[in-house]
Structure 1
Amino acid sequence: MAHPVYTLNLTAAQRCTLEWLTCNGALYAPMEVDPKEIAEDCGNSMSTVYDALARLTALRLIQRTGEASIYRVNPRFFFAQNPEVAQLVLDALQAPDVEPDERAHQPRRTSPVTVRRRRQVRPVS
């Protein structure tokens, strides 16, 4: 079961760091993080950002890959906070594939106007 964010007692700096990571693409793929850039964008000190990254990693809200500066937001946390998006993803995975019918395999029908335009030879000026 995912814990709501308010039960985790996150500081403003930790929330800001988590939001910065989410907005900058760490939800979709692991990304290299520059704490200096986060500090400047969020208005925090470098040590505050390092502390925030450490706490968020300990809570498993973000995951650290092999290298020290590469992080990814935990998708389970994101979907727990956005249940409507999670339901949309589940619906998409369970929906049947779209299958073309006979008409889809036939060449497109062209209008008489389109045929006339193709036949007209226009002088080049």
Structure 2
Amino acid sequence: MTAHAFDPDAEFVTPPLYTLRLTAAQRCVLDWIERHGGLFAAISLPVDDVARDVDHSESTVYEALARLVTLGLLVRDEVGSYRINARYVLSSNPELRRLVAAALVDPPITPDTRAGEPRKVSNADARRRRTIRSV
């Protein structure tokens, strides 16, 4: 059984945003979450603050969140916080996608025997070790 080679361009592909037919409210909510740290961590969404910032009603924000979660652009955890799907971020940033792909296929970093040795105490100790003494 052969394992398939990891191809980031095939694994991290998402449909372009324009094909998803997002409404203005959905784009605004997605942008609000991105600006408030939702790319890298799950954040709680105070719907009244989001509605005020994006200039939409609270019901429109709830509908936008529901559609974004249904599409998979947002990931909702059990606490009720939201974060942007990492596949969406990687599909829109090819340089980052290549970096992640390299990290997945590169060998792990393992310490050797020299890494386990104690560090030198001072420069004077290092000079003493290099001194040639007569016998």
Structure 1 and Structure 2 fold alike (TM over 0.5): yes
- Is the partner of 1:90 in helix, strand or coil? helix
- Is the partner of 2:62 in helix, strand or coil? helix
Q: Which runs of 5+ in 2 are unaligned?
A: 1-12, 120-135
2:100 to 83, 89, 92: 89
Q: After superposition, what is the alpha-carbon deviation per residue over 1:70-109, rounded to whole angstroms, capped at 9, x for unaligned? A: 1111001111111222123333555675x9xx9xxxx9xx
TM-score (norm 1): 0.70
How far apart are the structure 2 equivalents of 1:81 and 1:60? 15
| Partner residue in 1 for 2:128 | none
| Partner residue in 1 for 2:14 | 2
Percent of matched pairs sharing the same residue: 43
2:78 to 45, 66, 77: 66
Stretches of 4+ moved more than 2 A in 1?
Answer: 88-97
TM-score (norm 2): 0.65
How far apart are the structure 1 equivalents of 2:28 and 2:98? 26
| Partner residue in 2 for 1:28 | 40
How far apart are the structure 2 equivalents of 1:42 and 1:83? 29
Matched pairs, number = 111
2:21 matches 1:12: no
Q: After superposition, what is the alpha-carbon deviation per residue over 1:42-71, rounded to whole angstroms, capped at 9, x for unaligned? A: 11111110010000011010011113x311
- Is the partner of 1:16 in helix, strand or coil? helix
How far apart are the structure 2 equivalents of 1:19 and 1:90? 26
How far did 1:34 drift? 0.7
- Letter matched to residue 31 of structure 1: I
Q: Which runs of 5+ in 1 are unaligned?
A: 108-125
